[in-house]
Structure 1
């Protein structure tokens, strides 16, 4: 019987931390990288090019994690054309922000953040988890945030979504640990990406004990470790990577 081709799926893998994770996994592992994107196909292809440039294998796949029908349809279609494929690692990275004071927050600003971050975690994980359990091996890594641990003014919606994923991570880990499937969360602080470009780094770094923003590559190294067999005794953990701002 031919060995299955093993994949790592990174949602929101076209830019920022997601892109760094795709590249690091390609460097550190033998996984083919399945790069999910929602709208920016050009950016997804740039990530794919970067993966291939270092000798890795990969593909792009388009779906909105917030849309359960699209998740099911696109993943099923992909699996139908990749009969020998096995998605062994899932990085739930896709997320959006719609920051603003709760007093003025519009329903759509709440709903869209919850649907992408929290419902997105459910939609993709729920669809792929059965195969991991049958295979008796898997790695699920949820990208959360320091905001989900300590809260942040102007981010009630984002903190709510990430805080819920933190609780879900702890619960799901206990359900499936016996099947050799681990579930962990990574909680970055201020990381240099498109999402933080608008922030005043000069002022904010005064609050950070290491006196700087983090790099996406630093987060990616941690994720890559958690995705490896070396991390087999770590599950249900929320690991901070924030320069000491909240530990």
Structure 2
């Protein structure tokens, strides 16, 4: 018996790891991309194997188009993911007046070029099969703008636009494209933030969990979401409505 495949980028920790585990529980074999944290990736793989699903580790930088092709094209000749979750990303915060060129281009390269290289590589095969789900991880920062995150907000806002445009392009081929937009989620990226200032901004009064974000991704991969495309589903506790 063969099982559907989900390719998740940036999945060695945080939201990506939680998504990999959630989809494994839903019956997906996982292609797990990460850049450099081999130990963390092995831990996620072990947890997926415990759930009875397969896990293929794919260490490459999503912003390196040659590395993307070298890792994915040999696999795609034999199997095509039904789900692609573009989750890889990072922040390099600072006011624009002090932002280095590398801080700008680096963040945009991972979020936007990474989305383009990985999605284009997989999309050709999805189109041939006439089925698939593509889910892009964006952010409240891309919906509202955040001081000190001009680069990150620009990248996530751009990814929202790309989500909507691609959804229009491929809907007739039974490929649905959506975005999930987390707010303040308990991850390594939010560890250093002043919670005493943040929590009063959130109507539900707490930060979210990676499992709550992963649950929305899992829904978008399910048959129940078969009439949803080009949408941004926010998981932010009401901080932006």
TM-score (norm 2): 0.97
What's the CA shift for 1:50? 1.3
Cross-structure match for 2:140: 146
Cross-structure match for 1:238: 232
SS of 1:86's partner is: coil
Structure 2 counterpart of 1:218, from 212, 215, 219: 212
Contact 1:5–1:86, Cα closer than 8 Å, also in 2: no
Separation of aligned partners in 1, 2:217 and 2:4: 17
Structure 1 counterpart of 2:64, from 48, 63, 67: 67
- Structure-to-structure mapping, 1:58-207, within 5 angstroms: 58-79=55-76, 83=78, 85-207=79-201
- Structure-to-structure mapping, 1:15-34, within 5 angstroms: 15-28=13-26, 30-34=27-31
What's the CA shift for 1:229? 1.9
Contact 2:76–2:122, Cα closer than 8 Å, also in 1: no
SS of 2:151's partner is: helix
What's the CA shift for 1:117? 0.6
Structure 2 counterpart of 1:57, from 51, 54, 58: 54
What's the CA shift for 1:201? 1.6
Structure 2 counterpart of 1:209, from 188, 203, 208: 203
What's the CA shift for 1:100? 0.3
SS of 1:186's partner is: strand
TM-score (norm 1): 0.95
Q: What do residues 19-78 of structure 1 show as CA deviations (whole Å, max 9, x unaligned)?
A: 0000000112x2201110111111111111111222222121111000011101111233
What's the CA shift for 1:6? 2.7
Separation of aligned partners in 1, 2:118 and 2:127: 15
Contact 1:33–1:59, Cα closer than 8 Å, also in 2: yes
- Return 5+ residue gaps in structure 1 as ranges: none
Separation of aligned partners in 2, 1:151 and 1:203: 18
CA RMSD for the aligned pairs? 1.1
SS of 1:243's partner is: coil
Contact 2:82–2:133, Cα closer than 8 Å, also in 1: yes
Is the counterpart of residue 45 in structure 1 residue 39 in structure 2? no
- Return 5+ residue gaps in structure 2 as ranges: none
Contact 2:73–2:121, Cα closer than 8 Å, also in 1: no
Aligned length: 241
